[in-house]
Structure 1
Amino acid sequence: MAGGWAKDGGVQEQIESTVDDAVRRSRSRLPSGASLSHCEECDAPIPEARREAVPGVRLCIDCQAERDKRDSATSAFNRRGSKDSQLR
C-alpha cells in the first residue's frame, strides 16, 4: 500500500537501494592482491597471522582501527524524506 505520493513498493525499493549501496561500498573497500609485511601508513610490521587472515591487508591493526573509526563517522543518506527527518 502506497502512502502519499509514493508508489506501491516505493518504501521497500528505498530500503533495498540503501542496502545495495552499503554492500557495494563495503565490497569496494575490501583489500585485494598481496599483503604487505609493513603498514603503508606507519611502517609498523604486520603480524603473519593478520596477513594470512586478511588477504591483501595493507594496514596494521591500529591504523585500520583508526580508519574504521573515521569511516564510520560519516553518515549515509536519509532516503526517506519524512517530515521528521526534514525537521531535524
Structure 2
Amino acid sequence: MYSEFDREVGEMRVEQERQARIDAARAELKRQGREQCECGATISPARRRVHPSATRCLECQEIAEKEAYLK
C-alpha cells in the first residue's frame, strides 16, 4: 500500500507535469502567434510580420491596452 507521503509526492508530480504542459502551450502560442484574433477577425499579415506573436487584431489590441492603462 502507498503511504500518505507517496500519495502527496505523486500528486505533486502530476501537478508539476500539468503545469509544464500549460507553460509549454503558452510559450508556443506566444512564439507563433495566431492568424485569427480572439474576436474571430483575421490578424493582418502586416501585423503578424511586425509582431509575430500577436494574438489579437489591431483593434482588440488597442482596446486591451486602453483597459490596462485605465486600471
TM-score category (smaller protein): 0.5 to 0.7
Deviations 1:23-80 (A, max 9, x none): xxxxxxxx8210211102x110011010010021000011000000000002xxxxxx
Q: Percent identity?
A: 30
- Tell me the equivalent position of 2:45: 48
* 1:1-88 equivalences in 2 (<5 Å): 32-40=30-38, 42-74=39-71
What is the count of residue pairs matched by the alignment?
43
Q: Secondary structure at the match of 1:36?
A: coil
Once residues 48 and 33 of structure 2 are traced to their aligned partners in structure 1, the CA distance between those partners, rounded to angstroms, is 6
Structure 1 residue ranges, 4+ long, deviating more than 2 angstroms after superposition:
none
Report the AA paired with residue 35 of structure 1: G
Q: 2:59, 2:46 → 1: CA distance?
A: 15
Residue identity matched to 1:67: A
- Which protein is richer in helix relative to its size? 2
Distance 1:44 1:32 in 2: 18
